[in-house]
């Protein structure tokens, strides 16, 4: 068995194991209101996925969260460059990012509810979770760029664009990839949590909130499962995109 097939077999076995544990617990509890069985949840998810509303709602939520993640990633990159270039920027931004990272999502949501419209708030919250992670990782990547290679670039008078493309970008790429890997998860979860708290129209968060409100536990599980599956798919797609962007620079730090 090759390593890919073994990985797949491991993943399937793990999935089956936990599904069995879930099924067993659901049987022990014996009340769908408290803990629905995995089969019922999957059936409900399939039913939901057969409606146009489901796709409109998930697309809107994905759009909101992705807008927050992409904007925050761009801002994080920009601020990381600024931090590397200026000591003053580093001194000013470091405590700010620490505060953002340490503040509970719920506090931000409550505060932001005063300032922002419900529809925009999940965008803002998802971005807020992503920003410090991207900033910290990319800053570290820039700082850890090999000083010896930068000396070579200096001696040979390489143009700035080339130094950026050939030295900085490949050095920072693994840090950026690691940042996105964790930031996507954070951003997605925080964005959906913000939707649950602010219940904007056409949102997964609203569906989760309403499921809880009307004690439709199977729906709650089905929407939650949808969130998990979407998170996995989005993470895979984004990482594949980054890998493709970095493919022109193979080997060393930029090698997959």
Partner 1 sequence: MIEGRDLCLAFGEKTVLRGQELTVPAHGRIALMGPSGCGKTTLLRVLAGLQKPDSGSVRVDAARLAFVFQEPRLLPWRTAAQNVNAVLSDTAATLPEAETWLRRLGLDEAGALYPSELSGGMQQRVSLARAMACRPEVLLLDEPFKAMDEALRAQVIETVAAHLDGAAVVLATHSEAEARALDCKIYHYNNGRFEA
Contact segment (CB under 8 A) with partner 1 among 117-125, 133-141, 156-164, 211-219 equals 156-164
Q: If binding is defined by CB under 8 A, does position 115 make contact with partner 1? A: no
Q: Which of 87, 102, 155, 160 binds partner 1 (CB under 8 A)?
A: 155
Q: Is 151 in the site for partner 1 (CB under 8 A)?
A: yes
Cα gap 78→181, rounded to integer Å: 19
Cα-based distances in Å from 92 to 82, 131, 232: 11, 15, 35
CB of 142 to partner 1, least distance (A): 16
Phi and psi, residue 104, nearest 5°: -60, 145
201 binds partner 1 (CB under 8 A): no
Binding mask 30-69 for partner 1 (x = CB under 8 A): ----------------------------------------
Q: Which two tokens stand for residue 56?
A: 């409109």
Least distance CB 217 / partner 1 (angstroms): 51
77 binds partner 1 (CB under 8 A): no
Q: Which is nearer to partner 1, 39 or 252 (CB)?
A: 252
Binding flag, residue 166, partner 1 (CB under 8 A): yes
Q: Does 255 bind partner 1 (CB under 8 A)?
A: yes
Least CB distance to partner 1 at residue 114 (A): 48
- Minimum distance between the CB of residue 175 and partner 1, rounded to whole angstroms? 14
How many whole angstroms from its chain centre is CA 218?
25
Question: Which H, E and C letters describe the chain, residue by residue?
Answer: CCHHHHHHHHHHHHHHHHHHHHHHHHHHHCCCCCCCCHHHHHHHHHHHHCCHHHHHHHHHHHHHHHHHHHHHHHHHHHHHHHHHHCHHHHHHHHHHHHHHHHCCHHHHHHHHHHHCCCCCHHHHHHHHHHHHHHHHHHHHHHHCCCHHHHHHHHHCCCCHHHHHHHHHHHHHHHHHHHHHHHHHHHHHHHHHHHHHHHCCCCCHHHHHHHHHHCCCHHHHHHHHHHHHHHHHHHHHHHHHHHHHHCCCCCCHHHCC
79 binds partner 1 (CB under 8 A): no
Per CB under 8 A, 148 contacts partner 1: yes
Residue 210 is a binding residue for partner 1 (CB under 8 A): no
Among the listed ranges 56-64, 79-87, 151-159, 181-189, the one in contact with partner 1 (CB under 8 A) is: 151-159
Q: Does 252 bind partner 1 (CB under 8 A)?
A: yes
Answer yes or no whether residue 242 interacts with partner 1 by CB under 8 A. no
156 near partner 1 (CB under 8 A): yes
Q: Provide CB contacts within 8 A for 247, sequence distance 6+.
A: none
Per CB under 8 A, 158 contacts partner 1: yes
Using CB under 8 A as the criterion, which residues of the chain lie in contact with partner 1 when the complex forms? Answer: 148-149, 151-152, 154-158, 162, 166-167, 170, 249-255
């Amino acid at each position: 068995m090759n390593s890919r097939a073994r990985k797949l077999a491991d993943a399937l076995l793990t999935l089956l194991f936990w599904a069995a544990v879930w099924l067993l617990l659901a049987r022990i509890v014996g009340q769908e209101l408290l803990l629905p069985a995995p089969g019922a949840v999957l059936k409900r998810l399939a039913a939901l996925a057969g409606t146009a509303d489901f796709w409109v709602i998930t697309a809107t939520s994905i759009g909101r969260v992705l807008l927050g993640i992409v904007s925050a990633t761009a801002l994080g990159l920009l601020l990381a460059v600024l931090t590397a270039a200026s000591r003053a920027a580093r001194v000013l931004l470091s405590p700010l990012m620490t505060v953002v990272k340490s503040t509970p999502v719920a506090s931000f949501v409550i505060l932001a509810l005063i300032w922002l419209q419900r529809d925009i708030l999940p965008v803002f919250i998802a971005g807020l979770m992503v920003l410090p992670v991207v900033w910290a990782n990319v800053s570290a990547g820039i700082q850890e760029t090999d000083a010896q290679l930068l000396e070579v670039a200096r001696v040979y008078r390489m143009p700035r664009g080339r130094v950026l493309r050939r030295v900085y970008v490949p050095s920072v790429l693994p840090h950026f990839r690691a940042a996105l890997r964790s930031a996507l998860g954070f951003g997605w979860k925080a964005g959906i949590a913000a939707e649950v708290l602010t219940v904007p129209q056409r949102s997964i968060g609203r569906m989760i909130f309403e499921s809880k409100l009307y004690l439709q536990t199977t729906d709650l599980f089905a929407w939650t499962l949808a969130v998990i599956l979407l998170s996995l798919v989005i993470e895979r797609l984004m990482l594949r995109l980054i890998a493709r962007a970095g493919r022109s620079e193979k080997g060393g730090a930029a090698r997959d």
